[in-house]
Structures are given as C-alpha cells and as structure tokens.
C-alpha cells in the first residue's frame, strides 16, 4: 500500500491519580523507559523498541482516563491535506504550534464524534535509546518487566460509533478489518486499521462519550504473555482476564489495570491485514467467543468498567 496519510498510532496521554505508583506500573512492571519529565509534571515514556521520543504520556489528575490519542502522519504535506479534509467534513480543528510537547512538531487537535480528543502530527524527534540502526543489536539495555515492544492501539467507548467510523474511514483513510453486528444490522463494535495490523484503533458503541476501555502494548510472543502473567501474580497486580486469546484479531492477550484504574492490555500475534481483504463479521450471539475465544463468554467487568 502507499505509505502516505496516517501511518500508525503515535502516542497517548493518560490521566493517573498517583504519579509515583503509575511510574512503578508503567516503567518497572510493563517495562517502559522514562524519557523526560515536563515542567508541568507530565512524564514521557517509550518502549525499548520504539524510535520516537515518546509514546506514553502520564498526567497526574483527580480522575483517571484518556486526555488524547495521537496518530503519526507520513509528512507535513499530508498533515496539511488532512487538515483541509477535516475542515471540509465540518470538524473544528485546533492547530497547536511546536513547543507544547517535547520533540513534537505542530499538531492538529480535534474532538471526535464519540467525544475523544484526537491529534495528528508529522514530526517527532528520535530518542537516542531507540532501536540501533548500524549493525543493530537487539537492544541497548536488557529489557525489563513485561518487555513491551511498543504502544500498539487503544479501544475507545463512545456514543456516536457511526460518526466515528465515517470520520476515520472517509477522512483519515482507515479501513474496517472486523466488526460485531446486532441482528438489526447495528454495528456494536468496529476495528479499524491504517496499516497491515489487525487494528490500530477499536471503537465500541456506548451511551457515554469520551471513555477509555484500554491501552494496549505489543509483546513479542505467547511466551512473553505468560511472562507478563507471572509478573502480574508476583506483584499482585489487578487482572481483568487472561492469559487468553481473541477470536477478533486472533491475538493473545491479558487485560489488567494500572493503579489508577485505567485498563491496560498486553497483546501478541494477530493476523496481518490488507485493504483488499473482506471485513470479518461477528454476530452478537457469538460475541463471547469473538472477544474471549477460549472462555466463549464475557465477564461483566470487561464490558462495564471504563475510565
């Protein structure tokens, strides 16, 4: 496929209740590296296999949840094109000049139909501890904790799923990979990709706007999922479900919570997707198997707990 437009998820800013506890969780347990701390108290982190300056931003606040989710765009020219497309679609766009965030160029920021703030950017500096490029070793320093490779995707909950899907497909150029459909044809959940991944973002229809279901981190293999489970038990971390497997995306997974109540996922595997592939559809009577392929049933907490 042509490498243009939106390339991939870039970074996410998450609200946490206690920064010290959050750093133990994201740095020591998941295995992210702290890159810098801003003058405003925000902490910028990245996984060891990511080139960019940061992918996770933690902000201490009075309630948990998502501040914004950002996607990397191929070029400044593509950013201009998307700016015009968003305006033509009736979206109010704020342009944020460089300087508000370390190493990031100008950004486009807008509120999506589901009430989530989305950002687009084309320019970000590289972190010197990113993957080597000359006679590259596997890593600079031995990975720790769950050995997360990268920030992978988010699942968002919101009311206007149809508007969100239209925006991401018609304006931002994403493609539907998979969906859950009710008997009357209503789409309950949609999985969208701007790459060859099974999904770069997922959205579930929900009565409230602007809710976060989970932030996902890629691990290398099923063995690493098991290693992550060992860490969760060793440190008495709050686990939602897993290790298990998805029917949707076919990925292996564990869902768990950070100390503030934000749900995280560690994820491995999953199929590769190309835009000419048919959409894979699950019906609501099989949604248990779609989400948890081994258990074939949902738990109430997974469906109702969001931040």
First to last CA, the chain: 35
Q: Which run of H or E residues covers position 244?
A: strand 239-245
Query: Could you tell me the two tokens for 123?
Result: 């320019």
Residue in 171, 191, 203, 186 with CA at minimum distance from that of residue 279: 191
Q: To which residue do tokens 């501040």 refer?
A: 67
Sign of CA dihedral 295, 197, 56, 154: negative
| Number of other CB atoms surrounding residue 131 within 10 Å | 16
Active-site residue set:
153, 199, 214, 246, 255, 265
Burial letters for 245-254: b for 16+ Cβ neighbours within 10 Å, e otherwise? bbbbbebbbb
Sequence-ordered list of residues with C-beta below 8 angstroms from that of 146, at least 6 positions apart, any chain? 29, 30, 31, 217, 219, 224, 227, 228, 231, 266
81-89 CB contacts, 8 Å cutoff, 24+ apart:
81/5, 82/5, 82/6, 82/108, 82/120, 82/171, 82/172, 83/108, 85/171, 86/110, 86/171, 89/167, 89/170, 89/171
């Amino acid at each position: 496929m042509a490498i243009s437009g939106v390339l991939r998820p870039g970074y996410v800013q998450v609200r946490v209740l206690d920064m010290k506890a959050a750093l133990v969780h994201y740095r020591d347990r998941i295995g992210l590296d702290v890159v810098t701390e801003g003058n405003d108290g925000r902490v910028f982190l990245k996984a060891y296999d990511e080139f960019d300056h940061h992918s996770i931003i933690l902000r201490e606040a009075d309630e948990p949840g998502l501040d914004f989710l950002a996607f990397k765009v191929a070029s400044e020219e593509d950013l201009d094109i998307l700016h015009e497309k968003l305006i033509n679609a009736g979206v109010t766009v704020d342009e944020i000049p460089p300087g508000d965030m370390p190493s990031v160029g100008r950004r486009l920021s807008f509120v999506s139909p589901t009430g989530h703030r989305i950002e687009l950017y084309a320019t970000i500096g590289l972190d010197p501890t990113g993957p080597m490029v000359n006679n590259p070793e596997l890593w600079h320093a031995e990975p720790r904790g769950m050995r997360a490779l990268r920030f992978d995707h988010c699942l968002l909950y919101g009311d206007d799923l149809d508007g969100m899907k239209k925006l991401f497909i018609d304006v931002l150029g994403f493609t539907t990979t998979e969906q859950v459909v009710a008997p009357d044809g209503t789409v309950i959940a949609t999985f969208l990709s701007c790459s060859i991944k099974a999904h770069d973002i997922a959205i579930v229809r929900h009565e409230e706007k602007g809710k976060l279901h989970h932030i996902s981190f890629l691990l290398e293999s099923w063995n690493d999922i098991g290693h992550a489970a060992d860490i969760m038990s060793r440190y008495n971390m709050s686990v939602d479900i897993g290790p298990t497997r998805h029917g949707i995306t076919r990925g292996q997974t564990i869902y768990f919570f950070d100390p503030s109540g934000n749900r995280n996922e560690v994820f491995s595997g999953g199929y590769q997707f190309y835009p000419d592939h048919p959409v894979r559809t699950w019906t609501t009577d099989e949604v248990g198997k779609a989400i948890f392929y081994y258990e074939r049933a949902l738990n109430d907490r997974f469906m109702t707990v969001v931040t």
